């Protein structure tokens, strides 16, 4: 005796957003990424004032901005 059982689910948007944020927080290293962004920004700001190291400041500030944008996208833009 084999019967077919059909199930259907409905998710609220808040459930979906909460699940995505939980997934990202378990997969991303949020604390490390925030610390890395801050350190890169501070290193970039420090090297901006040092003569001959403007290339390092541009790289560090760019890396900091990219990390912040990734975190912003993961927790604010993508879930909705």
Domain residue limits, the chain: 14-77
Per-residue pLDDT of the chain (80 residues; tens, 9 = 90+): 678 888 888 888 888 888 877 887 777 787 888 999 999 999 999 988 888 878 889 999 999 999 999 888 877 776 65
Q: What is the pLDDT of residue 80?
A: 59
Taking the C-alpha atoms of residue 69 and residue 80, their distance in angstroms, rounded to an integer, is 16
Alpha-carbon gap, residue 16 to 8, rounded angstroms: 16
């Amino acid at each position: 005796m084999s019967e077919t059982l059909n199930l259907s689910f409905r998710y609220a948007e808040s459930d979906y957003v909460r699940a995505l944020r939980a997934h990202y927080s378990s997969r991303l290293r949020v604390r490390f990424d925030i610390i890395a962004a801050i350190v890169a920004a501070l290193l970039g700001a420090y090297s901006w004032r040092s003569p001959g190291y403007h290339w390092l400041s541009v790289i560090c500030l760019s890396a900091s901005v990219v990390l912040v944008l990734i975190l912003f996208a993961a927790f604010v833009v993508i879930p909705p």
